Amino acid sequence: MSDLGHVLVLAGGLSYEREVSLRSGRRVSEVLRAAGIDVEARDTDASLVPSILADPPDAVFVTLHGGAGEDGAIRSVLELLNVPYVGADPDACRVAFDKPTAKAVVRSVGLRTPASITLPKETFHDLGATAVLGRIVDQLGLPLFVKPARGGSALGASIVRTAEELPAAMVGCFAYGDTALIERYVEGIEVAVSVVDLGEGPVALPAVEIVPDEGVYDYAARYTAGHTEFFAPARLSPAAAAACAETAVTAHTALGLRDISRTDLIVDATDTPHFLEVNVAPGMTETSLLPMAAEAAGQDLGDLCRALLQNAASRPRPNLSAL
């Protein structure tokens, strides 16, 4: 049994990733209960704050994806309530959640990341789509990868292999966000590297290689069993595996993250990893990558989640009145 009293698992929310978040929350709740933890699972609604004030949990495990779950908003509220939680603080979340900003930070510490252009919908409209998109193709070349600058689960993301495909990709992207990130597409092996810090510094778990049946790791490939083949650990050379681990830990540190993160990478033909994005609330579903990485490392997911909660509960609380 754990020395934690009861913990709160937050899942759901109102983002496009609500269903994935609910699945993550159920999985975390199940493994924590199996590890001897008294777990309460809650959505984020008007009853949350009064509930926490009436019966403060020892710690909170945030499994909210997208929106308030990863942009720092819910974590700011938890700090106002003086409740410890697993994961990065609000300031770090705001930087990491915005993909162009995160790319700029990791580039400043020497990591490779695909050349890109960030384009708000207003600019796309006001300056004329045809002229702007033509210059993007001229500058970045083809193929391209288009995705919302904020958000996850590959919603609104697509590969563009011809110039004629770019307008539709932009429209699909803007359906999920007001700003598009258009990157030069890097051919290679797609991997995800989870980082865990239990108080002794960030450590990379084994990289997980992602091989979607249809060639694109989209929403269906991510969350439908059997649509993607995974290899944990990834089928990389020792040098490439070490480079991926170093890249993920460097990104985690440079972005000021804590406890857990997951960095998505492409490893090119020269065994060089390219940073794509980082997740501050990694998925915890049956098809998610952090649980696979933990299993590959020989770690029980329930024990890992319990240790993360214990670490959070023992962390000094921020004194907001002194700021």
- Tokens 């993301």 found at: 157
- Of 262, 288, 302, 306, the active-site residue reads 262
Q: CA-to-CA distance for 29 and 23, rounded, in angstroms?
A: 10
Work out the angle at residue 248's Cα, subtended by the Cα atoms of residues 190 and 207, and round it to the nearest 5 degrees: 45
Structure tokens at 158: 């697509």
Cβ-based neighbours of 250, under 8 Å, separated by 6 or more: 106, 109, 110, 111
Catalytic-residue membership of 107: no
| Residue 240 backbone dihedrals phi, psi, to 5 degrees | -70, -40
CB 287, CB 222: distance < 8 Å = yes
Q: CA-to-CA distance for 175 and 156, rounded, in angstroms?
A: 7
Catalytic-residue membership of 153: yes
Catalytic-residue membership of 279: yes
- Of 23, 89, 223, 311, the active-site residue reads 223
- Of 17, 183, 197, 209, the active-site residue reads 17
HEC per residue, 34-54: HCCCEEEEECCCCCHHHHHHH
Catalytic-residue membership of 262: yes
Catalytic-residue membership of 178: no
- Of 264, 288, 302, 311, the active-site residue reads 264
User: How buried is 317 (Cβ within 10 angstroms: 0-12 exposed, 13-18 middle, 19+ buried)?
Assistant: exposed
- Of 24, 194, 279, 311, the active-site residue reads 279
Catalytic-residue membership of 302: no
CB 137, CB 128: distance < 8 Å = no
Catalytic-residue membership of 223: yes
Query: Strand pairing partners for 120?
Result: 179
- Of 153, 158, 288, 311, the active-site residue reads 153
- Identity at 25, one-letter amino acid code: G
Catalytic-residue membership of 283: yes
- Of 72, 151, 277, 302, the active-site residue reads 277
- Of 25, 283, 288, 311, the active-site residue reads 283
Cβ-based neighbours of 35, under 8 Å, separated by 6 or more: 2, 300, 302, 303, 305, 306
Q: CA-to-CA distance for 248 and 203, rounded, in angstroms?
A: 9
**Active centre residues (catalytic):** 17, 153, 223, 262, 264, 277, 279, 283
